[in-house]
A and B are shown apart, each in its own frame.
Chain A
Amino acid sequence: MKTFKTTWRNIRRSPYQAFAAVFVMTLTFLFISFFTFLLYGSSKAISYFESRPQVTAFFKNEVKQADIDSLKNDLNATNKVAGIKFVSKQDALEIYREQNKNDPLLLELVTADILPASLEISTIKIEDLAEINNKLKESPLVSEVVFQKDVVSVLTSWTNALRTIGLGLIVVLSLVSIFIMVIIIGVKISQKKQDIEIMRLIGAGGWYIRWPFIFEGIFYGSVGAILGWLVSAGALWYATPFLSSFLKGIPIFPLPLVFLFGLLSMEIIVAVILGTLSSFLAVLRYLK
């Protein structure tokens, strides 16, 4: 208890240094939070696109149901298809109506007759999409094929690049935070050199002197993590309506609370580790 009191007094009596330490930690955790949101969102988007039909074949108007069933059987026989969904003209109209329910003028102009029936096909392996695509294009029943392979592969490569760059930046920011914290706590130790000497002379053990500095590091880290998380979560909450309409149809927002609080817990753990490590390094360096 006394150690916590001493820690709090040390923080209170040098507020600018405390502010600098918390600010650096907040920046680090703000970046970690935004980066985590980005990774979460992109992985959700990839899952969304992967789960969507990756090839859609639109049929000509005169095609009969028996011909479509035959084509479905042919595709299933390849053993490369994960799922096939038939969308009839009527189903297509329902989808159209749902997508344009706020625009009555568009709804009045369209009937089931002018919308083509289609097959939505997903493959077990993404590399088999090209073969299925070719097969459908060769079919006399099909008027148009929409092939989404590029969307998924581009998104995957972007996500991988983001992950690498983000992790690199997190490592750099964490190292910078550690160095700055070592300097700040080191300065505090130097300022208290006389007090430390007096405490030693009246019988204080090494850890009695070290603990308040270590708790100080943990405090800066934890406060920085909480502030960083609060700012990022607040910004995300504020931007959610805009992002939801921008990413129309991709179910990312709102981010689940379990995910957000899981992130906060993880950040506090990382903060405690960073804070302890930096204050321990400072104590080793300046408190011999």
Chain B
Amino acid sequence: MIRLTKVSKQFRTGVFALSDISFEVEKGEFVFLVGPTGSGKTTIFRLLTRESLPTSGEVIVDNWDIVKLPGSKVSHLRKKIGVVFQDLKLLMDRTVFENIILPLEVSGINAQAGKKIAEEVMDKVGILSHKDKFPIQLSGGELQRTAIARALTLEPDILLADEPTGNLDQVTAMEIVKLLSEINKKGTTVIMATHNEDIIKTLSKRIIVLNEGQLAKDTAPSHSRPKSDNIEKKEKKSPSESRRYPEGHSGLKEEDEDF
């Protein structure tokens, strides 16, 4: 379903966001993408949605080669992938319902059918009672649920959740993770980026650990592991790491993208 082969991403500043990353994710898997801020988690999501292109390597999503994908097909790709953005990216001047129905409108689904689907999804994530509220009127957990609902409306094959529990208390965070787990049980491939160790421990799922743009650890079964042996190498301190960042630069600015 998802395959990254020797993927590197270098920003215009010369800093590498990703270095020689390879892994595969099978259909229906739940994967935690773990690593500190600036480790490249968001960059991987951006590559998968073709918000950004790799400097080298191959990215395959649902048999689509992201690098060779023509611009006219990008919107089709994005309809197949639901994304819960780190900053949520909700439209603040639209109600919860209007935010959630937006992907359906974009896809040209008629208003009546769209309304029914949106209400079903809102019910599923538990925000139906807030449908007429504006994002500013919601709590952190409700905002996350709204973003998840929007990502689910088109019944995507893949759900990318970028730190969906980032600003939430432990109880609400666990509710969100439970929700994502239930979505995964219905067949959706879920990749969740987080650096919350408690959440990772709660669910015994595959974990891909990134550290400063390199693959540090992958708990995948052997068939999903990258063919190169770069994981072992990355678990040791890379001799080249010290020259990957300019002096005084502690990490990557993930928004420094080219799309």
- The verdict on B91 contacting chain A, using a C-beta distance below 8 Å, is yes
Q: Give Cα A200–Cα B83 distance, bound, in whole angstroms.
A: 12
Q: Which residue of B lies closest to A2 (CB)?
A: B105
Given contacts A2-B105, A2-B111, A208-B106, contact A201 B91 (CB under 8 A): no
- Tell whether A195 is near chain B: CB-to-CB under 8 Å: yes
A77 CB, min distance to chain B CBs, angstroms: 80
Does A199 belong to the interface (CB within 8 Å)?
A: yes
Query: A9 — nearest CB in chain B belongs to which residue?
Result: B93
A243 to chain B, nearest CB (A): 51
Docked-complex contact B107 and A203, CB < 8 angstroms: yes
A contact residues around B79 at 8 Å (CB)? 202-203
Chain B nearest Cβ from A213, distance in angstroms: 16
Min CB gap A86→B, angstroms: 78
B102 touches A201 (CB 8 A): no
Q: Which residue of A lies closest to B71 (CB)?
A: A206
A146 at the interface (CB under 8 A from B): no
CB distance from B132 to the nearest CB of A (A): 16
Contact: A201 with B85, CB < 8 Å? yes
Min distance, Cβ B100 to any Cβ of chain A, angstroms:
11
Cβ B91 vs Cβ A195 within 8 A:
yes
Cβ B93 vs Cβ A202 within 8 A: no
Tell me if A140 is interfacial: C-beta within 8 Å of chain B.
no
B54 contacts partner chain A, Cβ-Cβ < 8 Å: no
- B103 on interface, CB distance cutoff 8 Å: yes
Check if B103 sits within 8 Å of A201, measured CB to CB.
no
Any B CB within 8 A of the CB of A64: no
| Cβ contact within 8 Å between B106 and A202 | yes
Question: CA–CA, A244 to B49, complex, Å?
Answer: 71
- Find chain A residues with CB under 8 A from B91 CB: 195, 198
B167 CB within 8 Å of chain A: no
A198 to B77, CA, bound (A): 15
Q: Is the CB of A201 within 8 A of B83?
A: yes
Q: Tell me the complex Cα distance, A203–B102, Å.
A: 10
Tell me the nearest residue of chain A to B99, going by C-beta: A198
Closest Cβ of chain A: how far from B159's Cβ, in Å?
A: 13
Q: Confirm or deny: B51 has a beta carbon within 8 angstroms of a beta carbon on chain A.
A: yes
Q: Tell me how far the C-beta of B235 lies from the nearest C-beta in chain A, rounded to whole angstroms.
A: 34
B201 within 8 A of A: no
Tell me the bound Cα distance from A97 to B91 in angstroms.
Answer: 79
**Complex: chain A residue closest to B98, CB-CB:** A9
What distance in Å separates the Cβ of A114 from its nearest Cβ neighbour in chain B?
84
CA distance A59 to B4 in the complex (A): 108
Does A125 have its Cβ within 8 Å of any Cβ on chain B? no
* Closest 10 pairs between A and B when the two form their complex, measured CB to CB: A203-B78, A203-B79, A204-B106, A205-B75, A198-B89, A203-B75, A202-B103, A2-B105, A203-B106, A195-B91
**Extra pairs beyond A202-B103, A203-B76 (12, CB < 8 Å):** A2-B105, A194-B89, A195-B93, A197-B89, A198-B91, A199-B102, A199-B106, A200-B75, A201-B85, A203-B77, A205-B75, A205-B106
Query: What are 25 A-B contacts defined by CB distance under 8 Å?
Result: A1-B111, A2-B105, A2-B111, A13-B93, A194-B89, A197-B89, A199-B102, A199-B106, A200-B75, A200-B78, A201-B51, A201-B78, A201-B89, A202-B79, A202-B106, A203-B75, A203-B76, A203-B77, A203-B78, A203-B103, A203-B106, A203-B107, A205-B75, A205-B106, A208-B106
Residues of A within 8 A of B (CB): 1-2, 13, 194-195, 197-205, 208
